Structure 1
Amino acid sequence: MVRTAGDRARDIGARVEAFVREEVIPYERDPRRDHHGAPSEELVAELRDLARAQGLMTPHILPDGQHLSQVDTAHVLIRSGLSPLGPIALNTMAPDEGNMYLLGHVAAPHLKERFLAPLLTGAARSAFFMTEPADWGGAGSDPMMMKTTCRKEGEDWIIEGRKAFITGAVGARVGIVMARSQDPQSAGGACMFLVDLPDPAIRILDVPNTIDTSMPGGHATVEIANLRVPADQMLGEAGEGFRYAQVRLAPARLSHCMRWLGSCIRAQELATDYACRREAFGKTLIDHEGVGFLLAQNRIELTQAQLMIEWCARVLDEGGQGTEESSMTKVAVSEALMRIADNCVQVMGGSGVAGTSVVEQIFREVRAFRIYDGPTEVHKWSLARRIKRAWREAQA
């Protein structure tokens, strides 16, 4: 049976869409940005106050702490993405959305009260410390290369290492730090720890300028030196960090697809409006096949992307781990959205590459999405391994 969004999700989604279109979009040209182009803390706080006033803060998580189903979440998060500022205002943006999901499923009650509660209200932002610098030989798409370590010392754990491309680290108040255990009982396994930020033991070395500018706090490189964390701030069990990462990663990949689908729906709207108004060579642009066919192809691929998101959401709702399905969805949707955004820029010509149009930003954000949460090539490599393994099992 095909599941569609329930009445509650449709109501929340309609309110979210109205809020983004009427209250958030006017802020897209707001100059309050940091030197990397990301929204300032002042702007984030103002947008979240607007969401609270509408009763829409963290709309995919209900007041009793229950998450909407993945199918229902898709209905809401797609609409939150109609502006790059929408997920920030509504508290559905990465990495917070994925971190809240992880804490909701793994954290002990005392950790939920201390670390999850301020995230749910939008009073705090978070960062997930997993990726490591390439020049250090650390973990990127292959988490088994992780070099950051943790060792037990009395009632504490000591963490040492480096992390890179840590989204939102600047200004975050909650950190989830992943490290490889040196403790004999869980040696080689990964552990996750919850930490209060900022912490003098976590030093920000660099915040590079990146092609995307929608996420507050940038994508920092950090050094972790003698970070002492009480044992009761471990997330889950020692040595189970890689398993917990999968709890987070499959839904987080899907949530990325939802938000950026919303942005590309908006880009399509703007490109369509431009093509239907602008005239050249005696007729409107959309009446020229070279332009109209681009928008027609976009319409097809937007529909395909939404169907694939809904398929993967149903798999997760039915209790599947969703690793393979989320990989396929992430590849298909990110590649399709790149073509859609590129077509929108092409249709709008000079207006499409100007910073005065949000289409230009959406193009940049989607280009980065093809890399974040696993590049296309890594997901295809993983899928190919599964195909080979299935073939071998069939031959046995």
Structure 2
Amino acid sequence: MIDFSIPEDLVAKRDRVRQWVIDEIIPYETDPRLTQHGPTDGLRQELVEKARAAGLLTIQAPVEYGGWGLSHLEQAVLYEAAGWSTLGPVAMNCAAPDEGNMFLLNKITDAAQAERYLRPVIEGHQRSVFAMTEPDGAGSDPGQLRTTATFDGTHFRIDGLKWLITGANGARTWIIMADLQENPHLPSGPTLFLADGDAPGIVIERVMNSMDRNYVEGHCVVRFDGLSLPREALLGEAGAAFRYAQLRLAPARLTHAMRWLGAAERAQSIAIDHARTRTAFGKPIAEHQGVSFKIADNEIALHHCRLSVWYVAWLLDQGEKARHESSVAKAFVSEELFRVLDRCVQVLGGIGVTEETPVSMLFRDVRGFRLYDGPTEVHQYAIARKVLGGGR
């Protein structure tokens, strides 16, 4: 039996989250600490304390860490509500990259690592990064990984250049992907490591100027210059980084979609209000087909994006890996929500390209969704291989 109903207690939680975002978080969208490079860490900390006081901090965390122990379907409902403002997930500590990093760390850290690197992130006291992407190496194709790690039996030495490392500036918990070189002690190959953000050898060269501004402290260029880590810094098994990255990616793709669905729904509500009140040629523009059809197309897209997200969330809740289905959802939802935001800009007319409403900001921010956690074309390639029988 297929059941699309939302339990009453979840409806109440959804409504509570959205109203809290509207009342407490949206006013911060004009705060000067929401900069070209995203919210400052100072703004994040203030928002986190508001969420903590409201009992809405890191609700996705396991119960043993003080969270609500949400299923993926429950996350879908509540993240959409949080995403009504791009600052909502930041405040509630369920924004990227921390949300995906917490998910991964909860799966593969040992007890000591969890206390040192995971718990402070769950509690909102520090941020995390996932350092994989490189300017001349790993990205859409992680197999091009060029950052190296050497091991002498006691310490790892990491050297390499990364970029587009989201939130690196000021982050304390670092997950670093490097290619472990041949050695007599451990298997070689792409490997994950844990590090403190203030460790000597982590050099943040600059914050990159980017179109979006919804990620805390933006995206950075980072150099690892002789970063020395003890054996205990090994995260999981040596040589298993790609497997762990896949473990993180399927849910992370989906939570991106959940949050952006809320943002797109808000933009649609703003476009609807404008279409009802703005007049042209003797009547509200909502009565012109050119506008009303855009509103209708948006409603169709939002409905099907939500169903796509819910389906993959259901699969994950059944214990499925859902790699293929999450790729389908990521490609479909990211492209459709971009079109939704584009149509909202068009309905708003001239003010759609100004900051008189948040729609222009949301339009710029959602553009990155078509690239992050794999560009649409990479997912299309994987989908086609699966359908045509060449993939797994």
Match of 2:159 in 1: 160
Structure 1 moving runs of 4+ over 4 Å: 3-8, 185-188
Match of 1:194 in 2: 194
Total equivalences in the alignment: 388
1:85 is matched with which residue: 84, 87, 93?
Answer: 87
Shift of 1:8: 4.9
- Within a 5 Å distance, the mapping from 1:126-137 to structure 2 comes to 126-133=128-135, 136=136
CA contact (8 A) 1:59 1:76 kept: no
Shift of 1:390: 5.4
Task: Return the alpha-carbon distance in structure 1 between the equivalents of residues 328 and 267 of structure 2.
Answer: 24
Identical amino acids, percent of aligned pairs: 45
- Within a 5 Å distance, the mapping from 1:21-36 to structure 2 comes to 21-34=22-35, 36=36
Which amino acid counterpart does residue 113 of structure 1 have in structure 2?
Answer: E
Task: Return the alpha-carbon distance in structure 2 between the equivalents of residues 222 and 332 of structure 1.
Answer: 32
Match of 1:106 in 2: 108
Which amino acid counterpart does residue 89 of structure 2 have in structure 1?
Answer: P
Q: Compute the TM-score of the two structures, normalised by the length of structure 2.
A: 0.95
CA contact (8 A) 1:58 1:91 kept: yes
Q: Provide, for residues 318-370 of structure 1, a one-character-per-residue CA deviation record: whole Å limited to 9, x for no partner.
A: 11111111110000000000110000000001111102321001101111110
Shift of 1:90: 0.7
CA contact (8 A) 1:128 1:175 kept: yes
Q: Provide, for residues 91-119 of structure 1, a one-character-per-residue CA deviation record: whole Å limited to 9, x for no partner.
A: 11000000000011111111111111111
Q: Provide, for residues 255-282 of structure 1, a one-character-per-residue CA deviation record: whole Å limited to 9, x for no partner.
A: 0000000000000011111111111111
CA contact (8 A) 2:37 2:215 kept: no
- Within a 5 Å distance, the mapping from 1:300-379 to structure 2 comes to 300-379=300-379
Structure 2 SS opposite 1:28: helix
Is 1:251 the equivalent of 2:258?
Answer: no
Match of 2:386 in 1: 386
Task: Return the alpha-carbon distance in structure 1 between the equivalents of residues 355 and 170 of structure 2.
Answer: 26
Task: Return the alpha-carbon distance in structure 1 between the equivalents of residues 245 and 37 of structure 2.
Answer: 29
Which amino acid counterpart does residue 128 of structure 1 have in structure 2?
Answer: F
CA contact (8 A) 1:48 1:122 kept: yes
Structure 2 SS opposite 1:355: coil
- Within a 5 Å distance, the mapping from 1:223-302 to structure 2 comes to 223-302=223-302
Which amino acid counterpart does residue 289 of structure 2 have in structure 1?
Answer: E
Match of 1:16 in 2: 17
- Within a 5 Å distance, the mapping from 1:31-50 to structure 2 comes to 31-34=32-35, 36-50=36-50
2:99 is matched with which residue: 91, 97, 100?
Answer: 97
Structure 1 SS opposite 2:105: helix
Structure 2 SS opposite 1:58: coil
Which deviates more, 188-197 or 212-221? 188-197
Q: Provide, for residues 207-265 of structure 1, a one-character-per-residue CA deviation record: whole Å limited to 9, x for no partner.
A: 21111001112111111011111111211111111100011011000000000000000
Shift of 1:7: 5.0
Which amino acid counterpart does residue 88 of structure 2 have in structure 1?
Answer: G
Task: Return the alpha-carbon distance in structure 2 between the equivalents of residues 76 and 56 of structure 1.
Answer: 11
Task: Return the alpha-carbon distance in structure 1 between the equivalents of residues 33 and 238 of structure 2.
Answer: 42
Structure 2: stretches of 5+ with no match in the other structure: none
Task: Return the alpha-carbon distance in structure 1 between the equivalents of residues 309 and 180 of structure 2.
Answer: 36
Task: Return the alpha-carbon distance in structure 2 between the equivalents of residues 8 and 246 of structure 1.
Answer: 32
Task: Return the alpha-carbon distance in structure 2 between the equivalents of residues 8 and 127 of structure 1.
Answer: 33
Task: Return the alpha-carbon distance in structure 2 between the equivalents of residues 325 and 309 of structure 1.
Answer: 10
Task: Return the alpha-carbon distance in structure 2 between the equivalents of residues 226 and 270 of structure 1.
Answer: 51
Shift of 1:206: 2.4
Q: 1:124 to 1:8 in 2, by over 3 A?
A: farther
CA contact (8 A) 2:37 2:219 kept: no
Shift of 1:63: 3.8
Task: Return the alpha-carbon distance in structure 1 between the equivalents of residues 188 and 285 of structure 2.
Answer: 60
Which amino acid counterpart does residue 384 of structure 1 have in structure 2?
Answer: A
Q: 1:144 to 1:13 in 2, by over 3 A?
A: same
Shift of 1:47: 1.1
Match of 2:60 in 1: 60
Structure 1 SS opposite 2:389: helix
Task: Return the alpha-carbon distance in structure 2 between the equivalents of residues 256 and 217 of structure 1.
Answer: 18
Task: Return the alpha-carbon distance in structure 2 between the equivalents of residues 7 and 197 of structure 1.
Answer: 42
Task: Return the alpha-carbon distance in structure 2 between the equivalents of residues 10 and 230 of structure 1.
Answer: 47
Which deviates more, 201-210 or 140-149? 201-210
Shift of 1:194: 1.1
Task: Return the alpha-carbon distance in structure 2 between the equivalents of residues 293 and 222 of structure 1.
Answer: 46
Structure 2 SS opposite 1:131: coil
